[in-house]
Chain A
Amino acid sequence: MIIEALLAATFLSAVIVFALPDEYAPKTAFGLSLVPVAGSLYMWATFTGSGNALTGGDIAFQTVLPWLEVAGYTFQWYVGVDGISLPLVVLTTFLTTLAIVSAWTPIDTRKSQFYGLMLLMEANLIGVFTALDFFAWFVFWEAVLVPMYFLIGVWGGPRRQYAAIKFFVYTNIASLVMFIGFMMLVVSLPINSFGLPAITQSLAAGELGNFYFLAPDALAAVAFAALFIGFAVKVPVVPVHTWLPDAHVEAPTPVSVMLAGVLLKMGTYALLRFNFTMLPEQASAFAVPIAAIAVLSVIYGAMLALAQQDLKRIVAYSSVSSMGYVILGLVAFTEFGLGGATFQMIAHGLISGLMFMAVGVIYNATHTRLVGDMSGLADRMPVAVWILVAGAFAYMGLPLMAGFAGEFFIFVGSFGSTVLPSAPLFTGLAMFGIVIVAGYLLFAMQRTLFGPFRLETEYELDRAPIHDIAPLAALLAAIIVLGVVPSLFWNMILDATVPLLDLLGGGAL
């Protein structure tokens, strides 16, 4: 029942904050957001699950209740976590609280609505990562979009309407494609449940029938493609990434933090859960094109980042690049590949959150994000700048930071992949992305943070307030802790990802 309690507490907090007067909303939202943090940490501490939730593992904190019975199908309220979803729940609650604190400075209108929507989004994100029935999951999945649409469209920058609608249209069309593909799959199975474990196990048992004129093999391939397209938009990968920079640039800092930190992980989480767990054979059949898309995202995303002048755009495009690594880890289908991809979701959530927040702090002070407009900020706001530098090094994969662990695991895993033909070639190409990352981050930092002080805007530069710095410090601490002791999550992640290897008869490493 703890998941229900967590969801109920978060929804209730959202309603309370929405109804509060503006002046009390920020602090109350922060206070109330500590409840889900405590709840998720409690779940982490008392986690007893083992194995993968979908392939018959022991699901922790599970609840199964009947919801509807319609047209011969049972819809359930079915929640629970395993070693893949629990770290993501912890990431969600932790990052939401920090994002709320980071909103104290930039958000100055309609505060209670803003914080209410943030908490509403958190509740739905927890739902996405814990739901194990397709319909419960799908409702949460779509329900995340609505607060995001408002958060960008109401509190965003000058082109916020365009960005919000582009985001909404892209992700909704993707959801529709995914939904249709999944429905074709489920109605062709001899089961009457939308429970994800039941569907996975029925597929693994080879029970897929015909869908009208589509034979099982063709149907599985079509469904795989539809699901992949649906989730790829969310991740996003090149070439369907174009909504992301617009959304990021227009979104206010705390919303960018949530978007990069958690919302992108919905896409990779769903890819892992649906494409790579339910249809592993199709995943291995499509391994080469998917790996090509992953490497393209890594390289092209990094190149685009290299060409940007806006600090936020740099970080936004580098997210595209980083998510490419996650896809590469998934498609490798090895112990380290799948595990590393999951670990990288957490690591990238923290690091990109830190980067967006740090850029936000600089923007709060300078009111510009253009690289050419400033230099030598390190003298004036030392703490914020040094945390930003530390975050950039984490992005580049400095050892003993979370980013290193994630990327290292992925490369180890993908290098030795037996599923992906010419795996070392793809891995080598992707590793080249790291060099570009180092290039654009160092170049941007050198020009903005160091050298003689210069600022093109009319603002007095002051040290950032403590509530701007505190969430940065907390994130940096988390990145270092996770880099030094990856086993905090790594063990439970492996526990949940290794059973997947049996689906393809076991991979190397």
Chain B
Amino acid sequence: MSLLLQATTDWAFSVRALAPVLLVALSGLAVLGIDSLWPDERSLELVAGTAVAGTLSALGLSLWYLASGTGQPGGGGAIRLFSETIIVDGTALFFIAIVTSVAAMVSVASYDYLEADENPGSYYSLLLFATTAMTLMAVANSLATVFVSLEMASLPSYALVAYLKTNRGSVEAGLKYFLIGAVSAAVFAFGISLVYGATGTLLLTDIAAQIGGVGDLDGILGVGILMIAGGFAFKTASVPFHFWAPEAYEGAPAPISAFLSSASKAAGFVVAFRVFAVAFQPALGVAIDWGLLFGILAVVTMVLGNFAAATQTEVKRMLAYSSIGHAGYALIGLAAVTADANPANASVMGAAMAHLFVYGFMNTGAFLFIAMVEHWGIGRTFEDYAGVGRKAPMASLAMAVFMFSLAGLPVFGGFFSKYILFLGAINAGFWWLAAVGAVTSALSLFYYSRVVKALWFEEANGSLDALDSKPTGLYAAVIVAGVVTLLLLPGFGPVIETAEAAAAALFA
């Protein structure tokens, strides 16, 4: 009896701790259910509403847990479930908040995008299952759960990229994404097997404990870590596994590009942060200096992303490369980690987490603006965007906010997150990372301002009558993202404080 009671309370406890993840999963199942119960009706309102309700409730819950201290040092410490393979802590909740808020905005925006679609249920269920997997990535605490959740996030993503079945670009992008994803998954799995071979465990905390005793196997461990880093580079669209990103973001439906470039990237980073901070930090002095590896990758990613973005003629592709550049900034959070218990480790990683939070809003907003332009069907290049500000001032104003914020102009949220990241890097002694970051951000203003210039300064080339239609969902999502980007400047305090506390708990 007491055993049963014990099991029940454990069960209830796990459910409560994992409620944000479960809510997203349940809403995904509900969408599937609605679709199979009434297969003949196009119940777009209902499935979209379910998706928004699921993601928003998960967001609200994760914010509430963050505020009330669940899983954090102030509230009893991290909650470890299922033999420690799942962990609910500040980092997990912080990234669940990023992923679910992006998913909520994308769900709202997709409503207009799917107006003519025959089967919105499949779209929304894929979106929600991908979101579920990304929240699982945030709570994964063993290389096994990391791998499973990563693959679980990837499969629906491939399908979503190729969602426009009659569009050649979309299908090609999906295939490319799938092939590169499959290769990187193989590399990643092989890396895991090598690490397992060297340390005899998959649990992150146990790996850290075993690293000191690997002895002659340090070479194997080093190769394993290198391969795992490659897997993360794929998921976060960092050099050298970034090739899929411009194609996938360009070919995919624009809301999906928003979702992948913000949520999927954030999810990739949360596992990378957790795996490298918790499991591989001791390896810095033993097997491989992965800090230097990420430092080089960060520099190359920042430079390549920003320079490539500057040469694009299509806005969506420019944003895709800028998204690669921003992966480079977030990589600074890993690059500046050192082997000793230095408080700078947590402050840089916390700054990178806060940057991903702000990025979640500004980048999603920017891609959703592109979704709006695709909805109007006025074209893809900078020239096609000319004069839009005159007919759609609110949306164009929001886009100007996203562009300036992405460039790090000190007027919006993107400034503080970048600045504190660079300051953290300087404090940790990595002034060269900060220097490259500052130079590339200054350069980025050039290509971001081209969008603003086209929207506001130039006269329209063709007819803009299509702009008379005002897609409600897209407008709502873009304006919410814009307002949040704006408010994150004065209200950056709670974000950075939560992120730094969460990062400090990782290194503790």
Contacts and interface: CB of A to CB of B under 8 A. Distances in A.
**Which residue among B390, B410, B500 has the maximum number of chain A CB atoms within 10 Å of its CB?**
B410
A160 interface: yes
Interface string B145-188: 00000000000000000000000000000000000000000000
Contacts of A110: 390
Contact of A154 (B438, B457, B489): B457
A165 B454 CA distance: 12
A459 interface: no
Contacts of B427: 71-72
B380 interface: no
Contacts of A173: 442
Interface in A76-127: 110, 113
B458 A143 contact: no
B453 interface: yes
A348 to B, nearest CB: 27
A217 interface: no
Interface residues of B, number: 33
Contacts of B390: 110
B248 interface: no
Contact of A142 (B410, B424, B442, B449): B410
A180 B415 CA distance: 14
B145 to A, nearest CB: 32
A146 B489 contact: no
Contacts of B415: 139
**Which residue among A71, A172, A183 has the maximum number of chain B CB atoms within 10 Å of its CB?**
A71
A161 interface: yes
A365 to B, nearest CB: 27
Contact of B409 (A113, A146, A160): A146
B451 to A, nearest CB: 13
Interface string A164-187: 110010001101100010010001
A68 interface: yes
Interface stretch (B60-68, B91-99, B490-498): B490-498
Given A71-B427, A146-B409, A161 B457 contact: yes
A80 B186 CA distance: 61
A161 B492 CA distance: 33
A443 interface: no
A252 to B, nearest CB: 14
Contacts of A67: 490, 493
- SS class, residues of chain A in contact with chain B: helix
Interface in A126-177: 138-139, 141-143, 146, 150, 153-154, 160-161, 164-165, 168, 172-173, 175-176
A70 interface: yes
Contacts of A139: 410-411, 415, 489
A70 B351 CA distance: 9
B190 interface: no
Contacts of B214: none
A212 B431 contact: yes
Interface string B218-258: 00000000000000000000000000000000000000000
A161 B453 contact: yes
- SS class, residues of chain B in contact with chain A: helix
A69 interface: yes
A164 B453 CA distance: 9
Interface in B441-461: 442, 445, 449, 453, 456-458
A199 to B, nearest CB: 16
B431 to A, nearest CB: 7
Contacts of A142: 409-411
Interface in B334-373: 347, 351
A434 B423 CA distance: 47
Contacts of A161: 453, 457-458
Interface string B447-481: 00100010011100000000000000000000000
B387 to A, nearest CB: 11
Contacts of B393: 113
**Which residue among A70, A73, A172, A183 has the maximum number of chain B CB atoms within 10 Å of its CB?**
A70
A68 B453 contact: no
B420 A70 contact: yes
B453 A165 contact: yes
B456 A68 contact: no
B409 A165 contact: no
Nearest to B492: A68
Contact of A164 (B400, B438, B457): B457
A72 B426 CA distance: 13
Contacts of A165: 449, 453
A70 B442 contact: no
Interface string A201-221: 000000000001000000000
B61 to A, nearest CB: 26
A180 B438 contact: yes
Given A146-B404, A187-B426, A68 B493 contact: yes
Interface string B375-408: 0000000000000011001000000100010000
A117 to B, nearest CB: 10
Given A70-B500, A71-B427, A168 B493 contact: no
A68 to B, nearest CB: 5
Contacts of B497: 68-69
Contacts of A175: 410
Contacts of B496: 68, 70
Contacts of B416: 68
Interface in B25-79: none
A175 B449 CA distance: 17
A233 to B, nearest CB: 15
Nearest to A168: B449
Contact of B457 (A69, A146, A160): A160
B147 to A, nearest CB: 34
A370 B218 CA distance: 79
A143 B457 contact: no
B424 to A, nearest CB: 6
B290 to A, nearest CB: 23
Contacts of A143: 410-411
Contacts of B347: 70-71
A73 B423 CA distance: 10
Contacts of B411: 139, 142-143, 146
Given A150-B456, A153-B457, A173-B442, 16 more contacts: A68-B492, A71-B347, A71-B423, A71-B424, A71-B427, A110-B390, A113-B393, A139-B415, A142-B411, A143-B411, A154-B456, A154-B457, A164-B457, A172-B445, A175-B410, A212-B431
6 contacts: A71-B347, A73-B423, A146-B409, A160-B457, A161-B457, A212-B431
Interface of B: 347, 351, 389-390, 393, 400, 404, 409-411, 415-416, 420, 423-424, 426-427, 431, 438, 442, 445, 449, 453, 456-458, 489-490, 492-493, 496-497, 500
For the complex of A and B, the 8 pairs showing the least CB-CB separation, nearest first, are A153-B457, A142-B410, A68-B493, A143-B411, A161-B457, A70-B420, A71-B347, A139-B410
